Amino acid sequence: MSKADYAWQRLKKNTLALLGLGIICLFLFVSVFGYLIAPDGSPDANNQKLELAMKPPGFKVKEIHIRKNEPLHNPGFFSKLIYGQENDYKEVPFRQFQFKENALIYEEYTGKENIPGCKIKYNLADIVYAIDYSKPFTDNVQEGYIQFYDIDSGQQLKRNRADLQNEIVNKQIKEHHYFLGTDRAGRDMLSRLIIGTRISFTIGFISVILSIFIGVLLGALSGYYRGWADNLIMWIINVVWSIPTLLLVIALTFVLGKGFWQVFIAVGFTMWVEVARVIRGQIISLREKEYVEAGRALGFSSLRIIARHLLPNITGTIIVLSAANFANAILIEAGLSFLGIGAQPPTVSWGSMINDHKGYIIANAAYLAFLPGLAIMLMVLAFVLLGNGLRDVFDTKTMDEVSI
């Protein structure tokens, strides 16, 4: 049995580690397919409806979907998967509506049940189609038809009143459910939470890659070569180690600027220190082993010995460190976004969601800050549980007994 098979067999016996792995897989699925499963699939789930601000979970309202007078947005599958899709319709909440001649008149939903809204009049064809008003437009009320130039088809169309009314009732008027309510800008909370998963996962993933690459490289060189190289690298490690992590990240963020990619670099370049210290200790304990001496006797280069013989024997340690760093990266990113120096609006982040709604904790709407906080807690807990399980799985005393 290989080490990988043996490790998996041991991991399956750890219920908490499997639970953590399951939660991570769920968050990973949501982060990858977020725009396809979110109720609001617009970029950054930023479809704002101010009249629907601060609606409670389970709120529902009827909306008229009015076609925007612009060409259709038809992104490819992968473009939609990564960036979302601009909404081709203006979604207007309403109380009631009526048809009058070739128009629809609706009463706007004001957000308050006891406050009536303004009555808005729309041409029937303008609700269903994207109309180019620079071309001839005929609204014949007496004969009950509308003739116009459709931007989507690029043709002059003629539609009668009855057909347009039926299409509006059957396709353009829909009931929208806000399962987790709306935020202070009237955006769907469920969609914001779903899309926010991607930020935490992406920043965690890239930051861990950066920290592992730098930490393993410097730790391996320091532990194998010792001497002046070890002294220099350890001096750098001690200097960076002496600065509080969050303070160092904030300083780097101010130097690099605020933004999505800057957070990757700032977090990744501050988490490598612990990785380097651990890897250095592991390499020091292995560099005098018989197989390393045999490699030197056979004339293998130092880089080959490190890459082909030492690093494969500390793979378990690297995996455990990756899980721990992933959790730390998520917490650091959430903290930066909460302070306003992480991912910038309109990019949605769980930390920025907490910051936006922290004032509502004492205003009978604590769930607005609690929900993203719960998401952060679950993801961090999942990586901690998995990391603890991997630590037990890759325990040196037991793994050394497994034949390769």
| Tens of pLDDT, residues 302-335 | 888 888 888 888 888 888 888 888 888 888 888 8
With 90 as the cut, is the pLDDT of residue 114 above it? no
CA 52 – CA 93 distance, rounded (Å): 8
pLDDT for position 401: 46
Count of Cβ atoms closer than 10 Å to residue 372 Cβ: 28
How confident is residue 395, by pLDDT bands cut at 50, 70 and 90? low
pLDDT for position 258: 75
CA 342 – CA 76 distance, rounded (Å): 29
Given the candidates 3.40.50.720, 1.10.3720.10, 3.90.1150.10, 3.40.190.10, the CATH classification of the domain at 3-31+189-399 is 1.10.3720.10
Owner of token pair 């700032």: 266
Count of Cβ atoms closer than 10 Å to residue 221 Cβ: 21
pLDDT for position 216: 92
pLDDT for position 2: 67
Contact between 184 and 54 under an 8 Å Cβ cutoff? The reply is yes
Give the mean model confidence (pLDDT) for residues 359-375: 89
Element (H, E) at 371: helix 367-393
Q: Provide Rg for the chain, Cα atoms.
A: 29
CA 84 – CA 178 distance, rounded (Å): 19
N- to C-terminal Cα separation, the chain:
7
With 50 as the cut, is the pLDDT of residue 402 above it? no
Residue range(s) in the chain whose domain bears CATH number 1.10.3720.10: 3-31+189-399
Please name every residue paired with 148 in a beta bridge, in sequence order, or none if there are none.
157
With 70 as the cut, is the pLDDT of residue 121 above it? yes
Q: pTM of the entire structure? A: 0.87
274's tokens: 């612990």
pLDDT for position 396: 53
